[in-house]
Every structure is written in C-alpha cells, then in structure tokens.
Amino acid sequence: MKIDHSSTIKKLAKLGEEVLEQLEKKKNPEIDVRLRSLNNVYFDEKDRLIRLGNKVQKRSFFNLNQSKKFMQTMLIASLCKELLEQDKPPLSIRQIYYALKRTLPNSNENTFDAQKETDPLIEDIEVIIDALREELNLIATPKGVIAGPLTIRDKTSGDDINLAKMGSAGYSVPAIVEKNTIDFKHCSADYVLVIEKYAMWNIFNRLKFWDKNNCIIITGKGQPARAERRLLQRIHDELKLPVYVMMDMDAYGYYIYSVYKQGSINLAYFSEKCAVPDAKFLGLKVSDYENFSVPKTALIKATKSDMKRLDEIKKYDWFKTKEWQKELKDLKNFGYKIELDSMVTKGVDFAVKNYVPTKIENKDWLD
C-alpha cells in the first residue's frame, strides 16, 4: 500500500524553492531557523504545554561559519524528499547520516563527519518546514508496548491489528504512528493507563487488566521515545480517552509524567504533537504510602541526587501548581522513594486488583 507523503514533499520542495528564489533575485541564500535552545523555550500556561518561542536565527550560505551547515541542511532535506517520493521505508537518524556521508570532490572534507552533525539539522528541518521527523520518514527507535481493545490499521501493510489479541508480548509501538501510516479503526476502551516500566505493564497485561477494566495499557519503558508519546496523544485527542499515568514515586518518575503531559525542553517544538495536557497523575504519591499501608520494606532512602533533582523539577513552571508544589515538598520531607515494582510486597495482583481501580474510582490523582 502506498503511503501519502504529498504534504511533506510539498513542504520540502517549498524550502528549496525559497532558496532558489533568493538566488534568482541575486540575494544571498538564507533560511530562518527557530532557535531550539533553552532561552527560546517557554511554558504556555494557557494550553499547559512546553513550547518553542519565536526567536529565529538566520542561517546564511555565505557566512563561513554557517555555510557548511546550510549546505548540510539542504542535503538532508533533499534526501528526505527523494526517499519520500520513492516511498522507501523510513531510515533511522543514524542511517541518514550514513546515507549522506561522503567525501566532497577534490578535497579531504566529508559532507558529514559524525552523526552529531546530522541529528540537530534534522531537528532544524522539522522546525523550518513544520513537519515531524516521522513525516520526513525518519525514525527514532521506539520502545513502547501497548495492549487493549483498540484495532488499528497499519497502512504500510494494510493489516488491521487488534491490540487485544497480542498475547503476552503486547503490540510494539511502531516507529511511525502518523495518520498517513496508522489509522484507528475501532476502539471500545474507556481510558488509557500509562505505566512507567515494563515489568509492571507486564503484570497488568498478563492479568488482563485492560480486559477487565476496559482500557488501554501502554508503557514507554522509562523515558518514552517519540512514537509512544505521539501515539498517546493521538489516542487521547482522536478517541477522546482520558489518560492516567502511573510512575515511580521519585523525581524521575514525576518528571517522566511531565514529559507525557507537557512535553520536554529538548523537543519543545514537538510538544504540540505529542503532549497530553489532560493526563492525570495517578501515583505513586506520598499519600499512597499511608492510604495503602505500603510496608516499610518497600521504601528506599532518597539519595542526594534524588533530592537535587526534586529541587530542580520543583522550579519548572509546569510543576508550579499548588498541589504539585505540596506533593514535591511532601516527597522531600518523606525522604524515601517507592518504586512501582515494590507494590508486589503487597501481593502480585495488588496494583491490578486494588491500587489502580481504587485510585480511579476515588479520583485520587494529581493534575
């Protein structure tokens, strides 16, 4: 089956045409690149998203410091366009580096010397033409797995896939989950449960939590890759399902929640397409310790770096709500962290049968 890449192809062509036009008007070729550095990242209070600001930097071909980058940017763009036109399978960002690396004629200079030269330029192109890397047919390695009463159509093969019939492994989140590639055919779930780590997701899957509670369960195996986040947003936005997130009770767990919810600083330009500002933080939170009589053996003393990270995230604008500031303060005072995995101290099926259903029923979450 042929995937429709026409809109991205058009955007890439437009980039080339703009440069050509400048040349024809005897102007020095320049492109505007929105800055992706921290000083151009802000938290949009209204939409509750991390966003990229409007600061742009000119990249000019006849500025020696930028000339090579300019050329490299165009090389990447033209290769992407070519691959899209030929409907080739997507390449990883490492493969793109190899595909473009060669020696410039009559010199010992290479087009690219390391992947760290291509990576940021790919992100530049994403912001320049306002297209996702996935739309450019480039992929990052996805990690996530998902299961539940959702049937999707994979347009690359034309298969309909019922995520309720994926056995113990679940369905691996594909690298590209854009509309032109993945369609939602059918869904009867009532909500989505995001579980930080695979081990706990595995218990939820094996005990058919998604079947009994009519929901979708997904894990990004720690810090999620782009595809899991993008897929979660699409499920939330298009299927209108609420999203609950379950993380370790420590600064890292809380931060990963914020990545699902508000996006990240590094990929600020991507938040709009991947964040789920409505997502709710189910736990673990400090009050759960008493509410669910978690045994002391589940506690791990917080380290210095845990404390430091806590102080850091406390300062992030998106954690500056009253209830979050309190939670972070409580956690600091508590002085311990609790991993999701430790819930097995209360029985293997405690989280499945007791914790999550209780929390959802009581609406015991943080926003």
Partner 1 sequence: MASIAEELAKKQRDISIAEFFEKNRHLLGFDSKRKSILTAVKEGVDNGLDACEEARIPAEITVTIKQAGTDRYRVIIQDNGPGIMKKQIPKIFAKLLYGSKFHALIQSRGQQGIGITAAGLYSQLTTGKPTVVTTKTGPNRPAHRVELKLDILKNEPQIIKEEIDLDFRLPHGTKVEMEMEAQFVSKGSSSIYEYLRRTSIVNPSAQIIFNDPTPSKFIFNRTTNKLPKMPKEIKPHPYGIELGIFMRMLKTTSKKTIQSFLTGEFSRVGSTTAKRVLKKVELHNATRPYTLTREQAEKLIKTLQTEKLMVPPLDCLSPIGANSLEASMKTELSAELVVTVTRPASVYRGMPFQIEAGIAFGGNLKSEGQAEIMRFANRVPLLYEKSACAITRSIGEIDWRRYGLSQTGGRGVPYGPLTVAVHMASVWVPFTSESKAAIASYPIIVKEIKLALQECARHLRNYLKRQYRRQRDQARIDAFTRYSKELAGAIADLTRGNKEKIAELIEESLVKNTKAMIKVKEGEQ
Site residues, partner 1 (CB under 8 A)? 12-13, 15-17, 19-20, 23-24, 26, 28-29, 61-62, 64, 67-68, 70-71, 74-75, 77-78, 81-82, 104-107, 109, 111
Question: Smallest gap, in angstroms, from Cβ of residue 269 to partner 1?
Answer: 22
Question: Smallest gap, in angstroms, from Cβ of residue 316 to partner 1?
Answer: 39
Which CB, 19 or 331, lies closer to partner 1?
19
Which CB, 61 or 292, lies closer to partner 1?
61
Give the C-alpha separation, 229 to 216, whole Å: 14
Which CB, 8 or 258, lies closer to partner 1?
8
Which CB, 7 or 188, lies closer to partner 1?
7
Question: Smallest gap, in angstroms, from Cβ of residue 132 to partner 1?
Answer: 19
Catalytic machinery residues: 98
Task: Specify which residues 57 forms β-bridges with.
Answer: 33
Question: Smallest gap, in angstroms, from Cβ of residue 10 to partner 1?
Answer: 11
Question: Smallest gap, in angstroms, from Cβ of residue 26 to partner 1?
Answer: 7
Which CB, 107 or 297, lies closer to partner 1?
107
